[in-house]
A and B are shown apart, each in its own frame.
Chain A
Amino acid sequence: MRAECDQLLILDKISKTFTTGFRRRKVPVLRDVSLTLGRGEVFGLLGPNGAGKTTLMKIALGLVRPSSGRGLLLGGPLGDLQARERVGFQPEQPYLYPGLTAGETLDLMAGLSRLSRARTAARIDRVAEQCSLGKYLRTPVRKLSRGWLQRLTLACALLSDPELLLLDEPLGGLDPEARLAVKDLILSLRAEGKTVMVSSHILPDVEALADRVALLRDGVIIASGRISELLGSGSEGVEVEIECQRPIQLPEFCTLARERVASNRARWLVPGDDPARLQHVLASLLRQGASIHAITPQRRDLEAFFTQAMERARTEAEGSAWNSVEVAS
């Protein structure tokens, strides 16, 4: 039955509404979310706080049941037992037993994953090395700092050497050095052929890691695709920082950056990537007696893209709300 397909996770029109409290209040969290995860890719799940990223991962693992929609996890139903043997999950918060040491925690996870004794030892050594946990294996969990706890939960997710990793904010709470290490680790996992889903709201991190991304907003995917496709050519233009004593005239297509660096310094944006045009602007600046301090090419990044996408979604939502009000009245 279990077809060895290249789609490790398929979600088809998943919706989720929580019912809370005595009043049975309905809280819609996800609406018609569809996505697929191909073998060997790193997928970035993006979205502001409360967008539903964590809920989506829990649905994939069967911890939360979708209100509607279907899905397949490694060819089985969502949260399927055999599928879970091949999945590693790192929760958002480091939930572990405070009384156990890091080593015992890993031992427990190995037991739960049904690893043999010999393999347990080998795997613990391996993940301890991957997450540089070696010197903390004998430390009780309650004495570990947040960052080390985070690395321990990552080690727990990696322990059974799973094909698919669902990492919920794996970079949260880490210092810059550790972030770099974890990013390297994720990339090396991809190199090994593992599939990784990373959720985050820190866009530059995801940009560096992910092949594809999806942007969730209020439980709806408002944009998704390969990063390169989403960002297009990738260049917004070139920024020129100048110092000058008197006002400067430039062609109309140039825009003056709103904020000034200092009273006599300014930044101009030269849009597009036509070298002739840039040359023309620079010559004009020199002619007017400005001294040039820096020339920076402006790449269009995810942050800019998503700010725009969110903005667009917001205005659309407001528009439709307005429409519906009109219909109602």
Chain B
Amino acid sequence: MTIVPVMSLARHTFIDALRERAFVVLGLFLVVILVAARLLSPLALGEGRRVTLDVGLASVGFFGFLLVALLGTRMVHKEIDCKTILVLLSKPIRRSEFVLGKFLGLVTVVAVSLIAMLLMLAGILLTSGYEFDATLAVAGYYAFLELLIMAALAMFLTAFTSPVLSTFFLMGLFVAGHLSGSLIEMAQLLPNACAAKMLEAIFYVLPRLDLYSYTLEVVHGLPVDGGQLLWATSYAVIYSVGVLLLSVLILRSREFS
């Protein structure tokens, strides 16, 4: 693994993605949603701050996900379908470097758009006179960690399915990831111990995205827990590394013709 080709690929992936039209449309969409939250909040019977934060953070997370789903699956697949990968892999670059470069490029796109979205949200809160504190930044960081996992999964899926299928699968994983917390708890209540164990095993492999929701903490301005921050980061990083290793494994066994 060498750093130069990886960074070069990441940088140019980022530049290429920024010029994608899909990206601009997503940005517009977010503005519409946030403005809607701003307009709705007076109707929320004194719960305006809460509604703005709920809707705002939810749409930040969801648009981040859409970004990963659309850009991520399209990106890698475009490589294989449109055969840019032929040019890349004829250069002295390993498949692992290819995966990492693409992933980092995608993650940079995600990070930049998350920052932009959070700034917009903060602007809306400020102009509405609702208070917020550093927990909002932590919420943004958690959203980023969640999308890190999703980006790794996007790389993984596109390594072997079509973009439409992988977008579908990714949506499935997104939903399952958000439900997995509740489903694990339910599984423990199942009368059939064997079925319960099996369900649990499945959900141990699925990511637990529900843990990355931070709306509650922001709404109530709960203190930031440093230990939890560390666990959250390690989980996202380790899980993504595992998924990326699998993607490399798949990509190495593939032919490109």
Determine whether A and B are in direct contact in the complex, meaning some CB atoms lie less than 8 angstroms apart.
Answer: yes
> In the complex the two chains form, what is the Cα distance from A9 to B5 in whole Å?
25
Binds B, one of A100-108, A172-180, A187-195, A306-314: A100-108
Binds B, one of A61-69, A196-204, A218-226, A265-273: A61-69
Could you say which interface size class chain B belongs to? 20 to 34
> In the complex the two chains form, what is the Cα distance from A282 to B178 in whole Å?
93
B5 cross-chain contacts in A, Cβ below 8 A: 111-114
> In the complex the two chains form, what is the Cα distance from A97 to B15 in whole Å?
10
Indicate if the CB atoms of B92 and A93 lie closer than 8 Å.
Answer: no
A84-104 at interface with B (beta carbon < 8 Å): 84-85, 87, 89, 91, 93, 95-100, 104
Indicate if the CB atoms of B16 and A99 lie closer than 8 Å.
Answer: yes
Interface string of A57-85 (1 = CB under 8 A from B): 01001111100000000000000011011
Indicate if the CB atoms of B12 and A108 lie closer than 8 Å.
Answer: yes
User: B257: which of A55, A99, A109 is its contact (CB, 8 Å)?
Assistant: A55
Indicate if the CB atoms of B257 and A58 lie closer than 8 Å.
Answer: yes
Task: Output the least CB separation between B102 and chain A (Å).
Answer: 12
Task: Output the least CB separation between A68 and chain B (Å).
Answer: 15
Binds A, one of B31-39, B53-61, B82-90: B82-90
B7 cross-chain contacts in A, Cβ below 8 A: 111
A65 cross-chain contacts in B, Cβ below 8 A: 255
Indicate if the CB atoms of A63 and B12 lie closer than 8 Å.
Answer: no
Interface of B is mostly: helix
Let me know if B68 is at the binding interface, CB within 8 A: no
Known: A55-B257, A58-B256, A111-B7. A97 touches B91 (CB 8 A): no
User: B84: which of A54, A62, A85, A97 is its contact (CB, 8 Å)?
Assistant: A97
B9-26 at interface with A (beta carbon < 8 Å): 9, 11-12, 15-20
A89 cross-chain contacts in B, Cβ below 8 A: 86-87, 90
Known: A112-B88, A113-B91, A114-B5. A104 touches B12 (CB 8 A): yes
Indicate if the CB atoms of B92 and A114 lie closer than 8 Å.
Answer: yes
Indicate if the CB atoms of B94 and A81 lie closer than 8 Å.
Answer: yes
Known: A99-B16, A100-B15. A109 touches B86 (CB 8 A): no
Indicate if the CB atoms of B15 and A95 lie closer than 8 Å.
Answer: no
Let me know if B188 is at the binding interface, CB within 8 A: no
B20 cross-chain contacts in A, Cβ below 8 A: 99
Q: CB-nearest residue of chain B relative to A29?
A: B257
Q: CB-nearest residue of chain A relative to B17?
A: A99
Q: CB-nearest residue of chain A relative to B94?
A: A81
Let me know if B189 is at the binding interface, CB within 8 A: no
Indicate if the CB atoms of B8 and A107 lie closer than 8 Å.
Answer: yes
User: A63: which of B4, B18, B92, B255 is its contact (CB, 8 Å)?
Assistant: B255
Instruction: Name A's B-contacting residues (CB within 8 A).
Output: 18, 54-55, 58, 61-65, 81-82, 84-85, 87, 89, 91, 93, 95-100, 104-105, 107-114, 140, 153, 156, 160
